[in-house]
Amino acid sequence: MPVDKDWLKRAADIVGPDGILSDVSDLEAYGHDEYALDTYVQLPKSVAKPATEEQVAGIVQLCAETGVPVTARGGGTGLSAACVSDPHGIVLSLERLNKLIQADPDNYAITVQAGFTLEQINKAAEDIGLFFPPHPGDESAMAGGMVATNAGGARAVKYGTIKHFVLGLQVVLASGETVELGGSFMKSSIGYGLMELMIGSEGTLGIITRVTLALLPKPGSIQTVLAPFDTVSAAIESVPAILNRGIIPFAVEFVERSAIACAERLVDRSWPARQGSASLLLMLDGPDEEFVLSQAGAIAEVMEERGALDILLADNRERQEEILGIRSMIYEALRPGTVELFDVCVPRSQIAGHVEFVHDLEQKYQVPLPTYGHAADGNVHTNFMRTRLEDGVLGQEIPDWQSKHEAVRREIFDDVIRRKGNISGEHGIGLAKRDYLANNIGRTNVALMRSIKKALDPKGILNPGKIFTL
Ligand SMILES: Cc1cc2nc3c(=O)[nH]c(=O)nc-3n(C[C@H](O)[C@H](O)[C@H](O)COP(=O)(O)OP(=O)(O)OC[C@H]3O[C@@H](n4cnc5c(N)ncnc54)[C@H](O)[C@@H]3O)c2cc1C
């Protein structure tokens, strides 16, 4: 059955007239995520905005009965066109499902509805004196979306990604039935990991309506260490030596001068490390200042031995925020010229080699490929630019950037596969990387994913076409 007047009336009976959109002007905001190109823009036939978990189940039941494809949407901050609707389908936006269900300090846990944002999670954790470590860069991402993409962020090296913090989920299945998976406990050995199956499933196996997340005690002290190096390889190669000293910073970021220069201009601030062509930014946390300062001292020693040109310690909050402020603006600064932000992940020992490979591609194709990333967990972000980039200024458009984009993309993905890495460390597959998945994980693994999809969603109504085609 098409999404026609009758269908919209039935949907409005479930979510109320305010909860259903069908005017083109209202649908536009739901036709894309943050993927830079408009290749995958697709207006849904309608957007349903349920305000309760029962209404989510009602809409999914209606979709199941009428065969209408349904794509869940959280904050729409995804970077792989995963929350874009099927041309005949609807978007189910979780934005009104935004309640804190329970802050549970005794169990170091918090239960929230799927539309609760990362910013709200951080605040709610802080209100009970605890801390939620995962931090994907856009705080308007929502709990359900972060689980559905298994989001990561800079702190994964010490704390892991979202999957390490999911204790329980409430999920509406393709039939419209609701199931509770997991709970507020740390361990379980009770058959197949149905909850784990939902993590990273990009809305293709179920609609997440509630999430219980683990929290940790808040660190007593945080220090930031910044060290410039002559080359990005020298910066990255010092990381294993740091980890081998038994010190795990909660973030280890490498940034190249060309990318930082753009962010400096955008925020009108100066990156404190002026020498060299790359910097290593390390963040340490621990119970008190003495502990963290002693770790910072040990790290400084290792980096000096490995060729750091300087060691800068940001020991007060303003200084730390200034450095992080510039770092967090890199993507924003490059965005007007960015075609795609890659998020490949390679084994730690392969990071420097992969970054050198990216530099060779810059020469081969004559395109700027500013690169930065999480130096200790192997997650490398390369921006494919369609404009020239000099001293932090975006210049003229590169004439044949489209064909270069496809070629660079394939070469980058082939290189990470050769290095036994993967094509997405944290942003997901969506539509943007779908055609490369089989090369990465093999046809048998894709076939296994298809059989799981068929078992859980026999009519194929949940976010069809994402991750793989049926
Ligand atoms: C500036 C910027 C910086 C970023 N930095 C990072 C980073 O450091 N690390 C990182 O991992 N990501 C990062 N991202 C990407 C993005 O924030 C994450 O992928 C995030 O987890 C997406 O959450 P969302 O709520 O916006 O999901 P959406 O974009 O709305 O959806 C993403 C996917 O999840 C599905 N989905 C959404 N909600 C549900 C639900 N309730 N049930 C089932 N499926 C659902 C959608 O169908 C889609 O497949 C960044 C994005 C931007 C714009």
pLDDT tens figures, 93-110? 999 999 999 999 999 999
Stretch 380-407: mean pLDDT, rounded? 94
Does residue 12 register a pLDDT over 90? yes
Model confidence, pTM: 0.96
Q: Does the residue 235 lie in any domain? A: yes
User: Any idea what the CATH number is for the domain that residue 263 is in?
Assistant: 3.30.70.2190
Q: How far is CA 329 from CA 325, 326, 333, 350, 411, in A?
A: 6, 5, 6, 26, 27
CA distance 137 to 274: 25
- 119 and 200, same structural domain? yes
Judge if the beta carbon of residue 69 lies within 6 A of ligand 1: no
Higher pLDDT, 468 or 137: 468
pLDDT tens figures, 225-248? 999 999 999 999 999 999 999 999
**Residue whose structure tokens are 């980039």:** 389
pLDDT tens figures, 417-453? 999 999 999 999 999 999 999 999 999 999 999 999 9
- 163 and 254, same structural domain? no
Q: Does the residue 104 lie in any domain? A: yes
> Which of 312, 427, 468 lies closest to 81 in space, CA to CA?
427
Pocket test for ligand 1, best of 32, 53, 77 (most atoms within 8 A of CB): 77
- 210 and 191, same structural domain? yes
- Looking at ligand 1, which residue's alpha carbon is closest to its atom 52? 138
- 323 and 249, same structural domain? yes
Judge if the beta carbon of residue 202 lies within 6 A of ligand 1: yes
Question: 76: phi > 0 → left, psi -120 to 50 → alpha, else beta; which?
Answer: left
Q: Which of 328, 355, 379 is the last residue of a domain?
A: 328
pLDDT value for 266? 86
Tell which atom from ligand 1 comes closest to the C-alpha of 152.
Answer: 11
Mean pLDDT for the chain?
95
pLDDT value for 345? 97
Span from the CA of 137 to the centroid of ligand 1 (angstroms): 10
- 128 and 192, same structural domain? yes
pLDDT tens figures, 329-351? 999 999 999 999 999 999 999 99
Is 167 in contact with 177 (CB distance < 8 Å)? no
Is 157 in contact with 376 (CB distance < 8 Å)? yes
pLDDT value for 258? 86
Pocket test for ligand 1, best of 49, 83, 99, 332 (most atoms within 8 A of CB): 83
- Looking at ligand 1, which residue's alpha carbon is closest to its atom 12? 136
> Which of 342, 323, 449 lies closest to 385 in space, CA to CA?
342
* 278 band by pLDDT with thresholds 50, 70 and 90: very high
- Looking at ligand 1, which residue's alpha carbon is closest to its atom 15? 78
- Looking at ligand 1, which residue's alpha carbon is closest to its atom 1? 138
- 128 and 71, same structural domain? no
Q: Which of 56, 71, 93 is the last residue of a domain?
A: 93
Span from the CA of 381 to the centroid of ligand 1 (angstroms): 16
pLDDT value for 56? 98
Is 205 in contact with 463 (CB distance < 8 Å)? no
pLDDT value for 225? 95
pLDDT value for 315? 73
Question: 148: phi > 0 → left, psi -120 to 50 → alpha, else beta; which?
Answer: alpha
pLDDT value for 392? 85
Q: Does the residue 423 lie in any domain? A: no
With a CB cutoff of 8 Å and minimum separation 6, the contacts of 384 are 338, 339, 340, 341, 342, 367, 369, 405, 408, 409
- 225 and 182, same structural domain? no
Domain count, the chain: 4
Domain housing 342: 332-418
Q: Does the residue 122 lie in any domain? A: yes
Residue 333, both tokens: 């600064």
- 323 and 383, same structural domain? no
**Considering all CA atoms of the chain, what is the largest pairwise distance in Å, rounded to the nearest integer?**
72
- 203 and 106, same structural domain? yes
**Residue whose structure tokens are 């239960």:** 111
- 105 and 80, same structural domain? no
- Looking at ligand 1, which residue's alpha carbon is closest to its atom 38? 145
Q: Which of 77, 93, 109 is the last residue of a domain?
A: 93
**What is the end-to-end Cα distance of the chain in Å, rounded?**
20
- 152 and 75, same structural domain? no
Does residue 64 register a pLDDT over 80? yes
Judge if the beta carbon of residue 145 lies within 6 A of ligand 1: yes
Span from the CA of 51 to the centroid of ligand 1 (angstroms): 20
Higher pLDDT, 37 or 181: 181
- 321 and 269, same structural domain? yes
Span from the CA of 365 to the centroid of ligand 1 (angstroms): 31
DSSP state of 182: E
Does residue 8 register a pLDDT over 90? yes
User: Any idea what the CATH number is for the domain that residue 120 is in?
Assistant: 3.30.465.10
